């Protein structure tokens, strides 16, 4: 029996989700377990372990036979990402899906004037679909000396992928990376001269645009080794991230706006609103053959006016040359941070 159990575990697909303790990440886990309770090994990679344990027990309450494990990772910390990856290598002998979902939008500033101007302009639908022109953020610097949004949303995940490369690139098997990007990702917010977005006021948009570029270049470098990457947008979803946009509005006030949001949904299907709907595309990608996906497309979760969920690919405003240049810069930064880490370890060995 033990041998059989061991064989089953070895065969079961391993799915790791970052930022799985709440919102869209947690909804994805719930949806995956609803279709296959015993055949998957889920790993919830979370920063806040108290919330992670609550998520873990919620999942096990609805799916008592599920195999759900927790992993501590703070994607804004280089050492945390590296030790988390080492732990993954110790625990599993395969990694089939890596959902790079953790993300932040710190200290958002909602421009009320721009919002009301936008309401009466012809760009109103775009404004509601992308949040473009009405949101800025104030970024911070991590103890490693990197920009916080860049590190959390992009570079921490990049290092994680690089560390897990041997597990993800296996002969005769495919693995999938899925980046939770956003329709807020915009070329104008990103600069190759300032990939961390030290100077601007739209670090969120910049980091998400960078993930769109990075996904493309990862496909060109890794497809031959069986690793595929895609980017998604979950639509506008009411989660902790969005509640934080209007901090003076408690969560219940947002829910009072739900009828208005349903009305807006008649005009833009990007108002998915619930984490369950937002996770639609993440769940859909799980069922696709990675070879059939378009590396230039962002896959969107959409909800129709009548409340039906579906997935749609939309071409991204990206080009291979810029994505290759970003990749080179990320590799260079990776070399620098690894060297710094080594030097620090030499100075004070563990």
Ligand X SMILES: NC(=O)C1=CN([C@@H]2O[C@H](COP(=O)(O)OP(=O)(O)OC[C@H]3O[C@@H](n4cnc5c(N)ncnc54)[C@H](OP(=O)(O)O)[C@@H]3O)[C@@H](O)[C@H]2O)C=CC1
Ligand Y SMILES: CC(C)CCC[C@@H](C)[C@H]1CC[C@H]2C3=C(CC[C@]12C)[C@@]1(C)CCC(=O)[C@@H](C)[C@@H]1CC3
Binding residues vs ligand X (CB under 6 A): 18-19, 21-25, 46-48, 51, 73-76, 101-104, 152, 180, 182, 233-234, 236-237, 239-242
DSSP codes of every residue in 189-212? G--GGGTT-SSSS-HHHHHHHHHH
Smallest gap from residue 147 Cβ to ligand Y (A): 18
Is 327 an active-site residue?
no
Nearer to ligand X, 50 or 65 (CB): 50
CB 242 within 8 A of CB 275: no
Assess 242 for contact with ligand Y (CB under 6 A): yes
Point out the residue whose Cβ comes nearest to ligand Y: 131
Which two tokens mark 57? 């027990």
Nearer to ligand X, 23 or 108 (CB): 23
Q: What are residue 227's DSSP bridge partners?
A: 175
Assess 180 for contact with ligand Y (CB under 6 A): no
Among ligand X, ligand Y, none, partner that 303 touches (CB below 5 to 8 angstroms by kind): none
Among ligand Y, ligand X, none, partner that 130 touches (CB below 5 to 8 angstroms by kind): ligand Y
Among ligand X, ligand Y, none, partner that 128 touches (CB below 5 to 8 angstroms by kind): ligand Y
Q: Looking at 135, 161, 216, 232, which residue binds ligand Y (CB under 6 A)?
A: 135
Assess 257 for contact with ligand Y (CB under 6 A): yes
The 8 Å CB, 24+ separation contacts for 301-307 are 301/232, 301/233, 301/234, 301/235, 301/272, 301/277, 302/235, 302/269, 302/270, 302/272, 303/235, 303/265, 303/269, 303/271, 303/272, 303/273, 303/277, 304/265, 304/269, 305/265, 305/266, 305/269
Among ligand Y, ligand X, none, partner that 134 touches (CB below 5 to 8 angstroms by kind): ligand Y
Assess 183 for contact with ligand Y (CB under 6 A): yes
CB 211 within 8 A of CB 185: yes
Residue among 92, 204, 276, 327 flagged as catalytic = 204
Smallest gap from residue 182 Cβ to ligand Y (A): 3
Nearer to ligand X, 220 or 242 (CB): 242
Among ligand X, ligand Y, none, partner that 316 touches (CB below 5 to 8 angstroms by kind): none
CB 63 within 8 A of CB 39: no
Nearer to ligand X, 6 or 110 (CB): 110
Q: How far apart are CA 311 and CA 334, in angstroms?
A: 34
Q: Where are the beta strands (DSSP E) in the chain?
A: 13-18, 40-46, 67-72, 97-100, 108-110, 135-137, 175-180, 227-233, 297-303, 309-315
Nearer to ligand X, 146 or 227 (CB): 146
Among ligand X, ligand Y, none, partner that 230 touches (CB below 5 to 8 angstroms by kind): none
Q: Looking at 112, 256, 260, 266, which residue binds ligand Y (CB under 6 A)?
A: 260
Strands of 175-180's sheet in order across: 67-72, 40-46, 13-18, 97-100, 175-180, 227-233, 297-303, 309-315
CB 98 within 8 A of CB 42: no
Q: Strands 309-315, 297-303: parallel, antiparallel or unpaired by DSSP?
A: antiparallel
Site size toward ligand Y (CB under 6 A) is 14
Q: How far apart are CA 38 and CA 111, in angstroms?
A: 47
Q: Looking at 150, 160, 228, 236, which residue binds ligand Y (CB under 6 A)?
A: 236
**Catalytic machinery residues:** 204
Which residues bind to ligand Y, rule: CB under 6 A?
A: 110, 128, 130-131, 134-135, 182-184, 236, 242, 245, 257, 260
């Amino acid at each position: 029996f033990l041998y059989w159990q061991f064989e089953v575990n070895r065969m079961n697909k391993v799915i790791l989700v970052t930022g799985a303790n709440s919102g869209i990440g947690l909804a994805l886990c719930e949806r995956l377990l609803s279709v296959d309770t015993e055949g998957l090994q889920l790993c919830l990679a979370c920063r806040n372990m108290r919330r992670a344990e609550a998520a873990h027990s919620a999942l096990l309450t609805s799916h008592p036979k599920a195999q759900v494990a927790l992993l501590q990772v703070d994607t804004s910390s280089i050492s945390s990402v590296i030790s988390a990856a080492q732990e993954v290598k110790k625990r599993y002998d395969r990694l089939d899906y890596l959902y790079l979902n953790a993300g932040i939008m710190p200290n958002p500033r909602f421009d009320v004037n721009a919002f009301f101007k936008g309401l009466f302009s012809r760009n109103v639908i775009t404004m509601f679909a992308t949040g473009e022109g009405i949101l800025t953020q104030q970024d911070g610097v991590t103890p490693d000396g990197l920009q916080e949004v860049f590190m959390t949303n992009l570079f921490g995940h990049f290092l994680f992928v690089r560390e897990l490369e041997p597990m993800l690139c296996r002969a005769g098997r495919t693995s999938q990376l899925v980046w939770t990007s956003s329709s807020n990702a915009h070329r104008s917010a990103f600069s190759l001269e300032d990939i961390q977005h030290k100077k601007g006021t739209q670090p969120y948009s910049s980091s998400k645009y960078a993930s769109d570029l990075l996904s493309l270049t990862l496909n060109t470098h890794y497809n031959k080794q069986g690793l595929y990457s895609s980017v998604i947008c979950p639509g506008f979803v009411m989660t902790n991230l969005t509640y934080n946009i209007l901090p003076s509005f408690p969560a219940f006030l947002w829910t009072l706006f739900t009828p208005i949001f349903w009305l807006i949904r008649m005009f833009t299907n990007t108002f998915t609103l619930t984490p369950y709907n937002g996770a639609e595309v993440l769940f859909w990608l799980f069922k696709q053959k990675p070879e059939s996906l378009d590396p230039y497309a962002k896959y969107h979760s959409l909800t129709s006016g009548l409340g039906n969920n579906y997935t749609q690919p939309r071409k991204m405003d990206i080009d291979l040359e810029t994505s290759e240049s970003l990749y080179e810069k990320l590799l260079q930064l990776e070399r620098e941070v690894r060297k710094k880490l080594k030097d620090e370890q030499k100075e004070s060995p563990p």
